[in-house]
Amino acid sequence: MAAPGASAHDPCSIPALLARNVALYGDRPAYREKEFGIWQAWTWAEAADEIRAMALGFLALGMARGDHVAVIGRNRPAHYWAMVAAQMCGAVPVPLYQDAVAEEMAYVLDHCGARFVVCGDQEQVDKVIEIRDRAPGVEHVLYNDKRGMRKYDHSHLNWLHDIGDEGRAAHRRLEPELDARIAEQTWDTTCVMLYTSGTTGKPKGVVLSNRNIIETAKASVAFDHLGQDEEVLAYLPMAWVGDFIFSIGQAMVAGFCVNCPESPDTMMTDLREIGPTYFFAPPRIFETMLTSVMIRMEDAGDLKHALFRHFMDFAKGTGERFGMPRYRRKQSRPTLRRRVRWVYRYAMGIGFAIETLAENAVRGFFVRLRHPLEARKHYQARGPLLNLYPKPLRDYFDYRTGEVLIYGPLKNTLGLSRIRVAYTAGEAIGPEIFDFYRSLGINLKQLYGQTEASVFITQQPDGQVRSDTVGVPSPGVEVKIGESGEVFYRSPGTFVEYYKNPESTASTKDAEGWVATGDAGFFEEASGHLRIIDRAKDVGRMADGALFAPKYVENKLKFFPDILEAVVFGAGREMCTAFINIDLTAVGNWAERNNIAYASYQELAGHPRVLETIKSHVEEVNRSLAGDEMLSGCQVRRFLVLHKELDADDGELTRTRKVRRRIIEEKFADLVAALYDGSAEKYTETEVTYEDGRKGRIRATLKIRDARSFPAEFPRKVAAE
């Protein structure tokens, strides 16, 4: 059955879209990868040949319809090809996080019953070998990078390159079977299975169909007018739904090129070299980029610093008007009538500008004759040249000057000079950070989505971009607010089911297709934009009945570059308290400039001046909360700076860096108690996991600081007893 609005001849699978792209864009670049400092490119035709050979090799190994194929590694073309090749065989790709520890990997491999595992390198192969007894279904382990693999037992190991060669050798025998399996693909065939982050428990396998992925990709491509000329940097975890949509779904629908960086460590350098036109990053990436800019400016000379401040202040009010790119749409070739209309409009615009300049020049001349003193004051205040121009034209010239001196070089340094569309999502982004990029002329927007929705639930249209909302419902998506304030949606991207979990499927998606997001929010009546408050299960009441929304307060704290992470407590209690993680890069640079010596994160986090700086940030957040009628009671009264960074390997964060609030509260129960019993300090011991998997313990005496709170500017409504 075709998807709604699709014809029977529309490609209904990723392999079908690949074949279409070979016919349409065969010689255009489809993938690039940087290796040993050199970018290597594959056209659509070359990529399709590699994928088909890999699929034939999979068939030679015995891959069956419905098999689950785990893919573990960093973003590389061969890993994307392996997922599409698995789809050609009728199998289901299951990408995993490359930094997952062995226990996490064992759960997913056992839960999905993976028969095949595609590993990026020796590190991932070692993890699979370690947990082989806990994933008995694994029969074949394939690896992409052969370095370090020579002395391994290859009875169950295969080099991915050899699999492709075997597929080419067996093409006459296996091609009819492969073509038959590709032809069997329908809109309802499973396209991919992605595991949730597991914030509150074990990750759930989200089953997404071809309809979910392709229809969502089509709608989002049309929404932002994406085409085959886009350049995308694929650097986000392959196990995250966003990477699958951007690097496979949208890339196949629009036909644009996917670029894979050399390594996570070279991502920023590779970003500058590629200059993507379409870019997604979570708020933390944009915050890190801005922090690096501010650190460099602190070390710059007085002239550069003054120019930067002047033009950035000026851009705050003009960047939206003069900096935004002109959005292209797919159009037919301009007709003669349209060309004449363009010439006429440009001529009229130039004529108006000349007329205005002349009028201002004449008026200024007579003003100087009649009122020389006033004219002199006006001349000195406005400048000798710009006084002749109308204000919009002056602003335009000023902004273009800033583009040459500041904005352009800065965007080039960040690798964002060619951006047409940029998105951020996952959590709130600070208004100052959001406005900084917008003022540079970077079309940064926000979206709201989930794995279960194939990413897109709401998006911000061009011309309706704000830092405090997540936009309007995406094309084809319906959104409503439940009686409890929870956000519900229904869309073509709605997931099929949670794998082997019918209870969770039924509790999340009702018979009419409405999905509970677990987030609390509301629609603005005037704009129709959705605003997300917090996770519905985290929103509660304090002891006096005041509303408690921890994520909202945590996001406000994380708007400061010095604060990497925050965890706020207060449900059912008399006041709010917080754990703080400092940003080692930002605070470390500040310490160096202020001649503050430190030997470790723990020592820097406990320095008195660092604690005072964090205290000032907490009090600034409290001051802003005092003006919020609903959340004035959420002001943080006491806090401590943790002696270690919250880490996914220690179970404190998910692989997408979401806070596991319940686990943190249980793990650091002694510290939470100290925040509420009036203690000035607290000794603690904590078990940590090192990068090589070893366990250890760290000990520290943490200082607890009180923060000033402010009287509410609005009367708070206390719940009746």
Share of the chain above pLDDT 90, in %: 66
Exposure b/e, 651-664, CB count within 10 A at least 16 = b: bbbbbbbbbbbeeb
d(CA 76, CA 541): 47
How far, in Å, CA of 27 to CA of 22, rounded?
Answer: 8
Domain 540-706 CATH class label:
alpha beta
**Three-state DSSP class for residue 458:** strand
pLDDT for residue 710: 94
* CA-wise closest residue to 59 among 109, 116, 18, 14: 116
The tens digit of pLDDT for each residue in 269-294 reads 999 999 999 999 998 899 889 888 88
pLDDT band at 508 (very low <50, low <70, confident <90, very high): very high
> Looking at residue 21, what is its pLDDT?
97
Q: What's the number of CA atoms in the CB half-sphere (13 Å) around residue 706?
A: 7
Q: What mean pLDDT, rounded, does the chain reach?
A: 88
Q: According to the model, what pLDDT value does residue 602 have?
A: 94
Look at residues 662, 672, 669, 660 and name the one whose alpha carbon lies nearest to residue 575: 672
For residues 538 and 661, the answer to whether their CB atoms sit within 8 Å is yes
First-to-final CA distance of the chain: 56
Residues of the chain with CATH 3.40.50.12780: 14-277
- 123-162 burial by CB neighbour count: b if 16+ within 10 A, else e? ebbebbbebeeebeebebbbbbbeeeeeebeeeebbebbe
Most confident by average pLDDT, 301-305, 348-352, 713-717? 301-305
CATH 3.40.1160.10 fits 14-277, yes or no: no
Statement: residue 6 has pLDDT above 60 = no
Residue with tokens 């917008």: 438
**DSSP three-state, residue 42:** strand
Please give the Cα distance from 126 to 149 (Å, whole number).
10
Intervals of CATH 3.30.300.30 along the chain: 540-706
pLDDT score of 265 more than 70? yes
Length reported for the chain = 721
The average pLDDT across 676-699 equals: 88
Per mean pLDDT, which of 435-439, 492-496, 536-540 is the most reliable? 492-496
Beta bridge partners of 302: none
**Element containing residue 109 per DSSP (H, E):** helix 102-112
Question: What pTM, to 2 d.p., does this model score?
Answer: 0.84
Q: What is the DSSP letter of 28?
A: S
Q: Using 50, 70 and 90 to split pLDDT, how confident is the model at 385?
A: very low
Give me the pLDDT at residue 649, please: 86
Q: For residue 499, report the phi and psi dihedrals to the nearest 5 degrees.
A: -60, 125
Over residues 395-399, the mean pLDDT reads 81
pLDDT at 257: 98
Label residues 611-630 b or e (16+ Cβ within 10 Å = b).
bebbbebbeebbeebbebee
Closest CA to 299 of 593, 681, 654: 593
Least Cα distance to 41 among 50, 52, 28 occurs for: 28
Q: Which residues lie closer than 8 Å to 191 by C-beta, 6 or more apart? A: 13, 14, 87, 92, 208, 209, 210, 212, 213, 214
Nearest to 86 by CA among 64, 106, 112: 64
Residue 433 near residue 559, CB atoms below 8 Å:
yes
| 719 pLDDT more than 70 | no
